[in-house]
Amino acid sequence: MRYLDGPKPRFFAHRGGALEAPENTIEAFRAGLDAGADRLELDVHATSDGHVVVIHDETVDRTTDGSGLVREKTLADLQALDAGARFVADDGTRPFSGRGVVVPTLAAVFEAFPGVPLNIEIKQNAPAIEAEVLAVLDRFDAREQVLLAAEVGEIMERIRRVAPDVASGTSVEDGAEFLDYWARGRLDEYTPRGIAFQVPPTFMDQPLVTREFVEVAHAHGVEVHVWTIDEADEIERLIGLGVDGIMTDRPTVCAEVFRRLGHR
């Protein structure tokens, strides 16, 4: 499936569903899709031996039983760690500890879930890894299957330079530019940089995703994907505003709202 195919609102399992399984693992991605998500959101870094791996932080400390920088470890080093050790379920247990959960490669995600649209956020800034990410996409003929995202403007600019044919999101700087044009009443001069604003519902304690925000984004051909939304009433409220996507750490909760509202 191409990234822009499929029904709206789009249903993203954020890191696979980080509150329901160990984030950014094959186990989480499978659980998120089984719950009803139709696309996966994930983060990537690279190992010292050049493998693109799926992990949010620049270190392994928070999500595995190891410590240290991802970029200083080989793939073998990384996959010797327990990526299920630190996940705590709602009942206080650690059901994935010692179960062989590993930090996956991006290639392993494509192999496990062929055809599933992926929202890939490149987290590593230095050394740059865009070429390595694109090599994986090309190995699976997946350029139309993904959106490449980056919070950092420098990374986003590199993505657009080396992969102009791949759908891109918007960096923090891109979002600020949009809001600046809007505040100065110059939206007629604004040209979108990406296909989707991927934003939180509020910023600095002020509402960001409003009906007007969504309508203005749509008028410029830009989708609005909101993160990270885990409460049923908030998911329903945002859908009512017309957003194009919900990113959630609780796919089971989001799936129930989507079904109740007739979206799946």
* Residues taking part in catalysis: 14, 56
Residues linked to residue 248 through DSSP beta bridges, in sequence order: 13
Q: Is the peptide bond before 9 cis (omega within 30 degrees of 0)?
A: yes
Which of 1, 35, 25 lies closest to 248 in space, CA to CA? 35
Map residue 199 onto helix, strand or coil.
strand
Long-range pairs, 83-91, Cβ under 8 A, ≥24: 83/22, 83/24, 83/25, 84/22, 84/25, 84/27, 86/22, 86/62, 87/21, 87/22, 87/23, 90/19
Which of 228, 223, 234 lies closest to 250 in space, CA to CA? 228
- Where do the DSSP E strands lie in 183-251? 196-199, 202-203, 206-207, 223-226, 245-248
Q: Is the peptide bond before 228 cis (omega within 30 degrees of 0)?
A: yes
CA distance 115 to 237: 30
Which of 179, 122, 182, 130 lies closest to 152 in space, CA to CA? 122
CA-based radius of gyration for the chain: 18
